[in-house]
Amino acid sequence: MIIPAIDIQDGCVVRLIQGKFEEKKIYSSDPVKTARHWVKLGASFLHVVDLDGAMQGVPKNLGLACDIARNVAVPVEFGGGIRTLKVIKELLDAGFYRVVLGTKAITDERFLKEAYSKFREKVIVSVDAKQGSVQIAGWISDLKGMDSSALCLRLKKTGFKRAIYTDTLKDGTLAGPNIKGIKNLLSKTGLKLIASGGISSLDDIYRLRRLEKEGLEGVIIGKALYEGKITLSQALKV
């Protein structure tokens, strides 16, 4: 799957570099219009992140995100600051296809197990890593003693069949994806992955597509689409 990313901060569609909030570029003040744009161009799935929520630990752009889910006819996954089972249920009831979990699910194993037990494939965990070390709290903290492989194995043991994997040093840089890191996780864990971070060209997508048989299900693309490095139609043809 080719999945356009819609990252929302202060009500606007933005892209950050390596998750740094001080290094952002605004692409639109209308996230719903952006979502419709990608769907019109052929997107069959959207990845929406509340960056303010990820930093503050509670969704801050929920109204806008719900507007997206209501106004497009494709599945939408949403993440950013989701720390309770109640909020997960509210998001699913609001029309989101899937909820993306991060910090709380990673640091609280009981919550992780409860979330999976209650919602199954309707929740997915985002494994965000910097040089292999898991990042939490909007990528501002390392989770000591936990690398991406260990986290993915924990997810698999809990029952999860897939995860989102982002190399935070690659994200927003247009420097190419961490192919080695993705292959390593696929081979070590047996989890299916959706990869994110650094995609900059059609060649990157071709290289990632070769990992499909190993369990790579899709790629989340942000800056390359917004900067016109590749078009969505080109990516979909690959």
Domain range enclosing 168: 2-237
Strands (E) across the chain are located at: 2-9, 12-17, 20-28, 46-50, 76-79, 98-101, 123-130, 133-136, 141-147, 162-167, 192-196, 216-221
The answer to whether 99 touches 92, Cβ cutoff 8 Å, is yes
Residues noted as catalytic: 7, 128
CATH code, 110: 3.20.20.70
Instruction: Please provide the DSSP assignment of 162-230 as one string.
Output: EEEEEETTTTTTTS---HHHHHHHHHHH--EEEEES---SHHHHHHHHTTGGGTEEEEEE-HHHHTTSS
Top-confidence residue, 218 or 15: 218
- Domains in the chain, number: 1
Cα distance between residue 91 and residue 79, in whole Å: 10
Query: Which residue in 61, 57, 56 sits closest to 48, CA to CA?
Result: 61
Give yes or no for residue 19 having a pLDDT over 70.
no
pLDDT confidence band for 21 (50 / 70 / 90): low
Residue pLDDT, tens place only, 121-177: 999 999 988 877 788 765 555 656 678 999 999 999 999 999 999 988 887 778 889
